[in-house]
Amino acid sequence: MADFQEYLQPGKKGLLIGAGGVSMSPLAEVLHDAGLVIVGSDMSESDNTLLLREKGIPIFIGHRAENITPDLDFVVRTAAVHDDNPEIVAAHARGIPVFERTQAWGAIMRAYPNALCIAGTHGKTTTTSMCTHIMMAAERDPTVMIGGTLPLLHAGHRVGKGDTIIFESCEYYNSFLSLKPTIAVVLNIEADHLDFFKDLSDIKQSFREFAARVPESGVVIANYDDENTMDALHALDRRVVTFGFDHKADIYPDHIVRRGAQSEFDIIYHGEKFTRVVIHVPGEHNIRNALAAAAATSSLGIGPTAVKYGLAGFQGAGRRFEFKGKFHGADLYDDYAHHPSELRAVLDAVDALDYERTIVIFQPHTYSRTAALFSSFAEQLRRPTIAYLAEIYAAREQNTIGISSADLAREIPGARFYPTFAEIERSLAETARPGDIILTVGAGDVFRIGEHLLNESN
């Protein structure tokens, strides 16, 4: 297999499949700015495809074999683009090398003295966003790749001129094993993506290999409170800095004061007070995310003042406990949670707030995840005052299992399953009242319910 590094040369021409995607559009920008000739393709127009065109990057709409021209030197795709894609078929037929997105990013990372890669089953987007806020407060002008929208950037990415790249790093299909971190963050490890990984042991081995990609001069940031993380990284021949609530961790919080969605606490680093911070996102999990961000950025030489002000300015990332508006007097939020542990973290955060009733509209994400974690989903969905179940979001899968959200609803007393969003919206219009918090939850398109309700009520 060719090394993408060979193609990082001005004048080389490449096609990016799915160029309008959140991970591909910044890659197109970086390659274009490096002097490569970049074209792209996507299934539909978007703000990102329009922005790329404005930068002089042609975009084909629709995937067709004729987009693979003889002058192409390489093609880049994401894991979501399979071998039967007509552009992939044509590239293989012409002998044009096809790279995964993270292979390209991994090659690009070699040009940065500092590559901060944030991984974990949960919390990646929030922690990557917190690191971005801190590095911006320190005026380090980072390049950033986030799996969600960050209001500070008005996007999910940023192309900077500094010496640091901050990268949200996903374990699915072992994609993060193509990256070149100098600092690797492991937030937590749980059973997920079991349509690819064999079991939890397989997942832990993947994270260990990710951490081992850090050079001997680098640092691994690890969650001391997470048994799976510490087991996976046991006896790793790298410098490891731990964070967590346990005072045996290298970095831990002290003198925590919670006021609604806000938490204030001291960050203790190696037994000494590093700084006192305020974060404006609720939940114990976000305190941990802030500790991880502080540990990672301080390993890059960032001082306490930038950590303090960077975290203070963070108000949340898109679709991470994001306030959307008022509906019938209720507060309506949206969250990307699609794993039982993420649901638990969101509901724990809500429990600390002063609402009379909690109404959750949950859309499971993929049939395989729903089946594998069925009882854990049911356990968490028994907690809200009212639980609505939307049908499972298929994403990349076919329903060969024969599972439905109706099966979950039968395990949850009082749960309401509706096969269409319109039915859920009609029921919410009759149910919601002042004093409620309404949460649309899931990694699919369940957020459209809240957006439609708010549009209709305005």
Could you tell me which residues come within 8 angstroms of residue 277 by beta carbon, excluding any fewer than 6 positions away? 264, 265, 267, 290, 294, 307, 308, 311, 312
Report residue 269 as tokens: 């680093």
Q: How far is residue 141 from each of residues 162, 202, 432, measured CA to CA in Å?
A: 5, 37, 44
Q: Is 198 labeled as catalytic in the residue annotation?
A: no
Write the DSSP symbol of residue 175: G
- Phi/psi of residue 190, nearest 5 degrees: -140, 170
Return the C-alpha torsion angle 317, 323, 325, 327, nearest 10.
130
Q: How far is residue 307 from each of residues 149, 175, 221, 385, measured CA to CA in Å?
A: 21, 29, 16, 38
Among residues 49, 102, 121, 125, the one annotated as catalytic is: 125
Please report, in angstroms and rounded to a whole number, the separation of the first and last CA atoms in the chain. 55
Tell me whether strands 416-417 and 37-42 are parallel, antiparallel or unpaired.
unpaired
Q: Residue 107 in contact with residue 3, Cβ under 8 Å?
A: yes
Task: Determine the Cα–Cα distance for residues 41 and 23; give it in Å rounded to an integer.
Answer: 14
Among residues 100, 102, 121, 124, the one annotated as catalytic is: 124
Q: Is 29 labeled as catalytic in the residue annotation?
A: no
Other CB atoms within 10 A of residue 425 CB: 19
**Of the candidates 26, 33, 179, the residue with the CA atom closest to the CA atom of residue 102:** 179
Could you tell me which residues come within 8 angstroms of residue 318 by beta carbon, excluding any fewer than 6 positions away? 148, 149, 150, 151, 156
Task: Determine the Cα–Cα distance for residues 182 and 297; give it in Å rounded to an integer.
Answer: 12
Q: Is 209 labeled as catalytic in the residue annotation?
A: no
Write the DSSP symbol of residue 246: S
Angle at 225 between CA 219 and CA 230, to 5 degrees: 55
Among residues 29, 87, 168, 190, the one annotated as catalytic is: 168
Task: Determine the Cα–Cα distance for residues 188 and 207; give it in Å rounded to an integer.
Answer: 10
Report residue 88 as tokens: 């992939």
Write the DSSP symbol of residue 216: T
Q: So which residues are the catalytic ones?
A: 124-125, 168
